Structure 1
Amino acid sequence: MVDHRLSEEHEALRESVQTFARKEVAPVIGDYYEREEFPYPLVQTMGRMGLFGLPVPEEHGGMGGDYFALCLALEELARVDSSVAITLEAGVSLGVMPIYRFGDDEQRRTWLPRLAAGEILGAFGLTEPGGGSDAGSTRTTAVLDGDEWVINGSKAFITNSGTDLTGLVTVTAVTGQKPNGGKEISTIIVPAGTPGFTVAKKYSKVGWNASDTHALSFDDCRVPAANLLGERGRGYAQFLATLTEGRVAIAAVGVGLAQGCVDECLRYLGEREAFGRKIGEYQAMQFKVADMELRAHTARLAYYDAASRMLRGEPYKKQAAIAKLASSNAAMDNARDATQIFGGYGFMNETPVGRFYRDAKILEIGEGTSEVQRMLIARELGLPA
């Protein structure tokens, strides 16, 4: 029997995050967004709520929940604001999970309790200035010198990498050459404040303006050899697994934005009048918002399916790509339609739909572009690489 109803625990979590988003995030996030300022009080509240530790076992300081719980929280946050949602998404899927999945006992003891509590944030240094989607073209290097790694190179577009809460960045780097001549890529933990590790000034972005994004550089940056995360030479496989898992989470963010557009339009359609009638009485508006609800609902089912397969231990690479593609399409289409429904007001940054419109585009790019998702789906269907 197929049943998409939430368990009592999941529903209670969803409701608590929804209340937080509507009562604490919604009234203040517009000001943070306009000032392009990181919302420290909101992030600290999310830490106290345990949201950064949702999928982490209690023995490591987490809430002992599952990855689907994280997705539900992300959807509710993104219904109100994507900057706050992406801070949590990146903090967990790209910051916490690599340490939890691939770290040794000492690394887990050192980092997971503080990460899970939201006391510090973790970042994932993958993308490079000339790499983009071609993550295998990594140029950052790490050379073993005695009992230290010496790291040189740069990273671009790294979320949560320059806040006052940032505690570490997990960096992919070339650590040697494989027997077949290819690059041996490994993953290394670099604590914030390490000499030789420089955080550039924050980017001026189109959207996600209340989230933190920086370029990073490493100039003879030395960290202990024990900071190697997982097995040497397995960094490429590790980040592929991290991104597959993260695509389910980013899909939840896209669904939240798409549903938030519906929420705002339903409110506006009941208030705004044109030609002597509420605009919600016009069939053209009704059909448009019906299509928006269709997109959000369909994308939600896609990420529910991917998450359920993940939790059952089944292959889910194709389903994660489908969920990510469907949700980013839904977010973009719904943001465009919501802006059209709001008219001139939708073009103003002071309205949520104005922010939604600016925030939606990056969902077609970050954590794997839409083109990459289509490529992955095609390969999973058996078509040639």
Structure 2
Amino acid sequence: MKKTLALCMCAVMGLSILGCGSGQKDTTAAPAETKAPAETTAGAETTAASEATQAAAGSGQDWSKQDIQVAVMWGAGGALDTTIRAMAPYAEEQLNTSLIVTNRTGGGGSIAMQYVDSQPSDGFNILAASEGGQLVKVMDTGAMDLDDFQLINIYGAGYGVVLVAPDSPYNTIKELVDDILANPGKIKMASAGTSSSPFAINAMMTSVHQTSPNLITYDGDNAAVTALMGGEVDYTAVSMVSAASYIKAGSVKALALISDEPMAELPDIPVITDTYPEYQKYLPWTTFWGVWVKKDTPKEVVDELTEVFRVAADNEEFKALLVSLGATPMNLSGDEATEYSNHYKSVTSWLIYDSGAAAKSPEEFNIPRVEE
């Protein structure tokens, strides 16, 4: 298993260059296919996997008859790609088959969704997706979003965080907000695409404070952080996955976590609700990654895959990888996972629409606005 983790950590190093989550640019020209390495676990993890295998046998599905295809909606090297490839061996152990991970990028995730939707509803085709898949309809980049699929597991999430340079005059989120309000259109913020973390967090801040910074668009979260460190902008707000290593190194200063609870790995970052309780209605708000199958997949197959990925997401080495990325292990399934995904969809769809960036109104798709 040390070999698996070592390979995954090599891939993690590429995140500082390639980006992650919904702010990642589609760069893969053709589907990139990889067979995930098969490894074994020991001790309690082996016992848990054995129990999951026994429970899974009830579906009657012979998983060993063919490989499982995993369609990843973002490109190679990003957080979604890195984490699903790291998770695959733990699912393979239980299913006695291989997971073939292929990057199928484009259309804000719609290409991967279209591919899985075109395949049989037997569980042999899995969609690996991030939160950006919930914005496809309002952004009008495709006809389906993640609610058109059966959610199996949300295994990891990345909190938003507001960043400034280490030598910035801003030492609190209030100081930053007050200066933006005092100097409308002058304080420069590094943003990214309209479905990215920086754009959504700025829309959230605008909704709460009526701030109007000078938005400068970069190619994804990581490029926004790089611009901040290069002195091109005054601040940015990104997913923690793009920021954790820089915060730990002292290369950036974190003013606020977009959360009402501190992050275990970086507990000294103030949570934004301590200063502005008005953010509570938007929370929890994170980027996230998970696995889905076709909506009409038989219940017994869904139940089996749910248990398999629950055990995989609970693997200690996998959770350690998530933490090393700056992510938070989640392992949500069933109604809890659906509620989490739909809350993000409601909050972010309306924030983007209110900012004028959405192509269609969330109301057109019966997406409720979050309550006060």
For the criterion TM > 0.5, the same-fold answer is no
Q: What is the TM-score normalised by the length of structure 2? A: 0.28
* Greater helix proportion: 1
Using CA pairs under 8 Å that are at least 6 residues apart, name the structure with larger relative contact order, 1 or 2: 2
Q: Structure 1-normalised TM-score?
A: 0.27
